[in-house]
């Protein structure tokens, strides 16, 4: 059991997320089951509106299941109250967004420090940790800059640093290169695969670009209309 818990980073068991839109019920995620082993670099593919982002938000603990079960690093998300989910977001998962989502009024260092504040990390050693991460993404000289003073690629690298600051077991990336040009996109992807290889962090990346998925991800999940499409190459 514990063997399997460690071996499996993400497990979905008939996970569903439905919501009402006017009279209609939207099945954003519908009866989805899969597992992703620890240390995997997985890609979640599908056209827009297929439910990829909803699934990612569920895994990030930002949204709640309608039915079924989701477990991440041994945490059963359906059983958690909002306080436990907040703790889970702090310590277990890191999230990267297409639009970076840095706080515009804060410097990069402050943005990277933000999760440490919520995690109540000791104040001593915080700035070292922030600088260490900014160094690892090549932004140590930009620490005191505001996000608006940086390129998209730099902003996304800062966002990756922020996602990693509390040493999560799982990194969830929602179209991380969607707003970047090819060169910056490649830089970010290289950074993510290096992280995956060097630190063993499990990565689940949402993308609509099959080429990107084929190039970096060892496991691929395909979604359409809220459901997982079986037997596509790469799905286990």
Partner 1 sequence: MKRQDLFELAGRNMRNARLRNALTILGIAVGVASLVATCSLGIGLQNFANRQLMRSGMFQTVFVTSRQDVRNMDENAETKPDEQPQITGETRARIAALPGVEEVAPEVRATAEVVYNGQPQFTLLAGLPQSARDEDSVEKVQGRFFSGPNADEVLLQRDFAKKLESDPANVIGKSVTIRYAERQSGEAEGSFSIERHEKAFVIVGLLDEQPFGGMRMISRARVFLPTATAEQMNLMQPADTQQLVRSTPGQKTYSMLTVRMKSAAYAEQVEDAVKKMNFSAYSYLDAARSMRRFFAVLDMFLFLFGSLALVVASLAIVNTLVMAVLERRREIGIMKAVGASDRDVQRLFFAEAATMGLIGGLLGVALGWFIGRAINFGGNVYLSHTMHLPKENLWSVPVWLGLAAVVFAVAVSVLAGLYPAARAARLDPVQSLRYE
The candidate with the shortest Cα–Cα distance to 59, out of 222, 168, 189, 150, is: 168
| Residue 77 is a binding residue for partner 1 (CB under 8 A) | no
Q: Which two tokens stand for residue 49?
A: 């509106």
Window 137-156: contact mask with partner 1 (x via CB under 8 A): --------------------
Calculate Rg over the CA atoms of the chain.
17
Residues in Cβ contact with 182 at an 8 Å cutoff, skipping those fewer than 6 apart: none
| Residue 117 is a binding residue for partner 1 (CB under 8 A) | yes
What is d(CA 206, CA 220) in angstroms, rounded to the nearest whole number? 10
Q: Binder to partner 1 among 114, 131, 229, 235 (CB under 8 A)?
A: 114
| Residue 157 is a binding residue for partner 1 (CB under 8 A) | no
What is d(CA 233, CA 219) in angstroms, rounded to the nearest whole number? 9
| Residue 57 is a binding residue for partner 1 (CB under 8 A) | yes
Please report, as residue ranges, which positions from 15 to 34 form the binding site for partner 1 (by CB under 8 A): none
| Residue 82 is a binding residue for partner 1 (CB under 8 A) | yes
Q: Phi, psi (5° rounding) for residue 32?
A: -105, 130
**Angle (nearest 5°) at CA 30 between 20 and 178:** 90
Closest to partner 1 by CB, 52 vs 89, is: 89
Question: Minimum distance from CB of 138 to partner 1 (Å)?
Answer: 21
| Residue 119 is a binding residue for partner 1 (CB under 8 A) | yes
- DSSP 8-class letter at 48: T
Closest to partner 1 by CB, 89 vs 142, is: 89
User: Given the rule CB under 8 A, which residues bind partner 1?
Assistant: 57, 60, 62-63, 82-83, 86-87, 89-91, 95, 97, 101-103, 105-106, 110, 114-115, 117-120, 123, 162-163, 166
């Amino acid at each position: 059991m514990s063997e399997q818990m460690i071996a499996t980073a993400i497990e979905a068991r008939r996970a569903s997320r439905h919501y009402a839109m006017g009279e209609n019920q939207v099945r954003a995620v519908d009866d989805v089951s899969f597992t992703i082993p620890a240390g995997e670099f997985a890609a979640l593919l599908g056209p827009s509106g297929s439910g990829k982002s909803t699934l990612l938000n569920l895994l990030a603990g930002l949204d709640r299941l309608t039915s079924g079960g989701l477990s991440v690093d041994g945490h059963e998300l359906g059983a958690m109250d909002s306080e436990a989910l907040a703790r889970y977001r702090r310590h277990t998962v890191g999230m990267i967004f297409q639009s970076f989502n840095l706080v515009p009024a804060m410097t990069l260092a402050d943005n990277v420090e933000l999760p440490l504040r919520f995690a109540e990390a000791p104040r001593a050693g915080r700035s070292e940790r922030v600088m260490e991460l900014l160094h690892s993404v090549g932004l140590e000289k930009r620490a005191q800059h505001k996000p608006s003073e940086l390129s998209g690629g730099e902003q996304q690298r800062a966002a990756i640093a922020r996602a990693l600051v509390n040493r999560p077991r799982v990194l969830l990336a929602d179209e991380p290169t969607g707003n970047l040009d090819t060169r910056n996109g490649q830089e970010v992807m290289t950074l993510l695969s290096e992280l995956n290889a060097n630190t063993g962090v499990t990565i689940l990346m949402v993308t609509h670009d099959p080429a990107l998925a084929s190039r970096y991800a060892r496991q691929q999940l395909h979604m359409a209309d809220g459901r997982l499409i079986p037997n596509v190459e790469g799905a286990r």
